[in-house]
Amino acid sequence: MEFRGRRDASREKEDGAIPMRKIKHNEVMQIGDKIWLPVSIAEMRISKRYDTIPSGTLYPNADEIAYLQRLVRFKDSAIIVLNKPPKLPVKGNVPIHNSMDALAAAALSFGNDEGPRLVHRLDRETSGLLVMGRTKESIDYLHSVFSDYKGRNSSCKAWNKACEAMYQQYWALVIGSPKEKEGLISAPLSKVLLDDGKTDRVVLAQGSGFEASQDAITEYKVLGPKINGCSWVELRPITSRKHQLRVHCAEALGTPIVGDYKYGWFVHKRWKQMPQVDIEPTTGKPYKLRRPEGLDVQKGSVLSKVPLLHLHCREMVLPNIAKFLHVMNQQETEPLHTGIIDKPDLLRFVASMPSHMKISWNLMSSYLV
């Protein structure tokens, strides 16, 4: 809080006036202390203001509101789906200003009393489809869908079937190529604390029985041949664990994702230093990486010195929450409205890749199958 006043009982004047002073962030409150907070214009409804709000608050300004609304790919009465850009944190801790939950809660209400809430997460560096619930009821349904049980515990057969069909599909560019072209990774994960005592890291569980671990399952499929030491991989997480795809790629497959320096630092160093000689599948001749004229390579692509993370949630299939809210809440004696019945049980979304991944894709996708 930028402006704060604190009552100082020891300095209270004889006439009863209370002197005010600005307190420091490291001051310890004493019994009887009081803090006064000013009423900010940022507490007014978003819909009533279009001017710029100071970025020192946790509330978005007009430009941020417009930017976030451009990310929306789908909206109905139950959910909002966005295409999250890389480097935008999803869940913020004070005083993070531009986290997705803080911005969306303030800017994406679209007439509702409250803004949408997160129901699942993407890493800060990961891009792609992000779903938010618009009402308390839809949020509860979405939490069950994104859990390991996938919401399949209802008496409604259509709902259970839709939940079974739900999936998330990621595309990733990895260093190297998995030995098998497709498969199922079932490798439990555990969290360890590093030597500094502050930073944690997710690793493959050793199975000793003495460490806390969580089951983690990922389906993968290689999309094409290795080019310039890298290959494109499709990933479908069956479970939802922190850094699951990144750890499974780096440690289970031995092919860390390009730009993932936390789990693939040493491989990145070798990859950058290794001369690459790959063979074109059609001619059998050494493949030369194309560098289109005028292409700006300093955008985090594979040609830049420090590539950004190449992990993108590209496709998602979800139950139609808005429809099933009507179905579940409908009395058995009341017929469903024709417009509700005609709506599909499933919704499918596809998000375009961010610019740095598009550049890498265009450079390396000539021989994808």
Q: Which two tokens stand for residue 118?
A: 């997160």
Q: Which two tokens stand for residue 225?
A: 């041949």
Question: How many whole angstroms separate alpha carbon 114 and alpha carbon 45?
Answer: 10
Q: Under a CB-based contact definition with an 8 Å cutoff, are residues 73 and 349 in contact?
A: yes
Antiparallel, parallel or unpaired: β 5-6 and 200-204: unpaired
Q: Crossing angle of helices 136-145/321-329, nearest 10°?
A: 110
Question: How many whole angstroms separate alpha carbon 320 and alpha carbon 329?
Answer: 14
Range 241-245, long-range pairs (CB < 8 A, 24+ positions): 241/189, 241/202, 241/214, 241/216, 242/189, 242/191, 242/202, 243/123, 243/189, 243/202, 244/189, 244/202, 244/216, 244/218, 245/170, 245/172, 245/218, 245/311
Between CA 106 and CA 110, with CA 108 as vertex, the angle to 5 degrees is: 115
Q: Is 109 exposed, middle or buried (0-12, 13-18, 19+ CB in 10 A)?
A: middle
Q: Under a CB-based contact definition with an 8 Å cutoff, are residues 178 and 233 in contact?
A: yes
Q: What are the CA-CA distances from residue 326 to residues 32, 112, 133, 182, 228 (Å)?
A: 52, 18, 16, 39, 52
Question: How many whole angstroms separate alpha carbon 158 and alpha carbon 319?
Answer: 10
Positions annotated as catalytic residues are 123
Contacts of 59 (CB under 8 A, 6+ apart): 42, 53, 102, 106
Sign, CA dihedral 98-102-106-111, equals positive
